[in-house]
Amino acid sequence: MPETMNAVVVSEHGGPETFEFRQAERPSPAAGQVLVLLSVAGVNYLDVAQRSGATPLRAPFLAGVEGVGVIEALGEEVTGLAPGQRVGWLAGGQGSFSEFAVVDASKVVAIPASIDDATAVAALMQGITAHYLVHDTYTVGPGDTVLIHAAAGGVGQWLTQIAKLKGARVIGTVSTQAKQDVALANGANEAIGYEGFADKVRELTGGEGASVVYDGVGKATFDESLRALRIRGVLVAIGGASGPIPTLDVNSLAGLGSLYVTRPTVVHHVRTAEEIAGRAADIFGWIASGAIKVPQVTQYGIADVVEAFKALESRGTTGKVVLKHSADSRHKE
């Protein structure tokens, strides 16, 4: 009989209640893949999009796109990696909420010994996302004013810190006093509420507006984000926590100041082993040097996956939500 494992499956598209615990056949790595025994998995809005049916992934499927663990076995043609090595990934593998997952060998990164599993998984999706947004989607530098929505959230905290490293002025939007404190502690020059934020940004910039807006809120902020930009500014749509982004009249961008709008995704920015390794090296280096503080990590046991996603989707969390695999949850033959 084939070996089995504990698995978390999205049985049908829907809310967090669609996560199911099942026994599934333990996967085997194909050529160019590695089999990883999971220790922790990241909880992400990409998981929400997959679960809700907003991506092409059809149910049922193994849940989880980001994880850290130890290599259990190598597929053919894999070089430069070894069983027992601790690795992480944020793309190139599906099933990180399960006991084992197979991942493309070109998409895993070695985790430095100085960084624990929970910190590593907190740094991968969120840190690397912020890295490409600040370096590639819009090249942030001195003289730029950056507006970051949900500045106390996981990606928002990374964006704030990296933008400050690049010499920018950062304005963050937040919904509570506690989140304002988080944004300012991460280096934001100003932390403001959402009501009338475009006018406030213009007031703070002498009428000019922001160079770039990173908007992960979506429906509730999108139109006003456009009005917060300077001439030839860039609106970077990175999510829709409040609902889908409204339909955009492209012709309106001319009247608003010859604006640019883009909707990037992380998978197009970690396409090669060299690219993901380079971004991860920067992130891990900043952590090691103390230049970046890793946002708060909130851990749930894998058995509490539904509760973890309810917390994430309520927008009540700051930092990173992580699912921890434990010895007690391991499959017993």
269-304 pLDDT, tens digit per residue, is: 999 999 999 999 999 999 999 999 999 899 999 999
Single-letter code of the amino acid located at 231:
I
Query: Per the domain annotation, does 208 fall within a domain?
Result: yes
Instruction: Work out how many domains the chain is built from and give that number.
Output: 2
259 and 301 both lie in a single domain? no
209-252 pLDDT, tens digit per residue, is: 999 999 999 999 999 999 999 999 999 999 888 888 889 999 99
Query: Per the domain annotation, does 238 fall within a domain?
Result: yes
Residue 123 has pLDDT above 50, yes or no: yes
User: Which pairs with CB-CB distance under 8 Å and at least 24 residues apart come from 293-297?
Assistant: 293/161, 293/186, 294/119, 294/122, 294/123, 294/320, 295/122, 295/126, 295/154, 295/157, 295/158, 295/186, 295/319, 295/320, 296/320, 297/118, 297/119, 297/122, 297/322
Single-letter code of the amino acid located at 95:
G
73 and 178 both lie in a single domain? no
Query: Per the domain annotation, does 274 fall within a domain?
Result: no
CATH number at residue 155: 3.40.50.720
CATH number at residue 61: 3.90.180.10
Query: Per the domain annotation, does 40 fall within a domain?
Result: yes
Instruction: List the domain range (segments joined by +) for residue 50.
Output: 4-123+295-329
Q: What is the pLDDT of residue 45?
A: 87
95 and 163 both lie in a single domain? no
216 and 317 both lie in a single domain? no
Query: Per the domain annotation, does 286 fall within a domain?
Result: no
Instruction: Tally the C-alpha atoms within 13 A of residue 253's C-alpha that lie toward its C-beta.
Output: 15
% of residues, the chain, pLDDT over 70: 97
Q: What is the pLDDT of residue 318?
A: 75
Query: Per the domain annotation, does 179 fall within a domain?
Result: yes
Residue 316 has pLDDT above 60, yes or no: yes
pTM for this model (two decimals):
0.91
156-174 pLDDT, tens digit per residue, is: 999 999 999 999 999 999 9
Cβ within 8 Å of residue 110, ≥6 positions away: 85, 86, 87
151 and 252 both lie in a single domain? yes
Q: 331 falls in which pLDDT band (50, 70, 90)? A: very low
